[in-house]
Structure 1
Amino acid sequence: MDWRPATSEPDQLGESPFWHPIESRLYWVDIAGRALCRLHPASGRAERWAMPSEPGCIAPARTAGQPSGLVIALRDTLYRAKDWGGPLVPVARLPIDPATERANDGKCDALGRFWVGTMHEPAAGPRQPVAALYCVDGRGDGAPLVRRMLDGVATANGLAWSPDGGTLYWVDTPSHTIRAWACDASGEPVGAPRVLHAFAPKPDGWKPGQPGYGGRPDGAAVDAEGHYWCAMYEGGRVLRLSPGGEIVADIPVPAQCPTMPCLGDDGPEGATLFVTSARQGRPADELAREPHSGHLLVAGERLPVAGRPVNWYEEGLLPAGLA
Structure 2
Amino acid sequence: MSGIVNLRVERVERVEGAGQAPASVGESPVWRAAEQALYWVDIPAQKIVRLRVDSGERAEWRLPEKVACIAFDRRGTVLAGCETGLFAFTLPDAAQASSGEPGRAAVRKLAAPVFEADDMRFNDGRCDRQGRFWAGTMVQDMAAAKPAGALYRFDEHGVLSAPVVDALITQNGLGWSPDGTTMYLSDSHPSRRLIWAFDYDIDSGQPRNRRVFADLHHYAGRPDGAAVDADGCYWICANDAGLLLRFTPQGKLDRQLAVPPTKPSMCAFGGRNLDTLFVTSIRPATGASEHDGHLFAVRPSVTGLPEPEFAGEL
Percent identical? 36
The reply to whether residue 116 of structure 1 matches residue 122 of structure 2 is: no
Correspondence for 1:204? none
Going from structure 1 to structure 2, the CA distance change for 1:98 and 1:151 (only over 3 Å counts) comes to closer
Correspondence for 1:311? 308
* One of 67, 82, 93 as aligned partner of 2:90: 82
Letter paired with 2:134: W
TM-score with structure 2 setting the length: 0.87
Separation in 1 of the partners of 2:187 and 2:30?
A: 21
Separation in 1 of the partners of 2:89 and 2:140?
A: 26
The reply to whether residue 257 of structure 1 matches residue 256 of structure 2 is: no
Deviations 1:133-177 (A, max 9, x none): 00011x23xx53333111110000000000011100000112111
Going from structure 1 to structure 2, the CA distance change for 1:98 and 1:60 (only over 3 Å counts) comes to farther
The answer to whether the 8 A contact 2:61-2:91 is kept is no
Deviations 1:261-298 (A, max 9, x none): 1111142xx611210000042x23xx2xx311001112
Letter paired with 1:86: A
* Structure 1: gaps spanning 5 or more residues: 202-212, 319-323
* Structure 2: gaps spanning 5 or more residues: 1-9, 93-103
Deviations 1:44-102 (A, max 9, x none): 1222211111101000113xxxx242111111211112334431111111221673211
Deviation at 1:214, TM superposition (A): 1.4
Deviations 1:93-128 (A, max 9, x none): 122167321100000112211101111224x84221
| 2:268 match: secondary structure | strand
RMSD over aligned Cα, in angstroms?
A: 1.9
The reply to whether residue 215 of structure 1 matches residue 212 of structure 2 is: no
Equivalenced residue count is: 289
Once the two structures are superposed, the pairs formed by residues 172-187 of structure 1 within 5 Å of their partners are: 172-174=187-189, 175-187=192-204
Separation in 2 of the partners of 1:94 and 1:41?
A: 36
Letter paired with 2:163: R
Correspondence for 2:46? 34
Separation in 1 of the partners of 2:68 and 2:79?
A: 11
| 1:308 match: secondary structure | coil
Deviations 1:3-41 (A, max 9, x none): 223322211001110100100000111012211111111
Correspondence for 1:291? 290
Separation in 2 of the partners of 1:53 and 1:127?
A: 23
* One of 26, 35, 38 as aligned partner of 1:23: 35
Correspondence for 2:80? 72
Moved more, 68-77 or 150-159: 68-77
TM-score with structure 1 setting the length: 0.84
The answer to whether the 8 A contact 1:108-1:312 is kept is yes
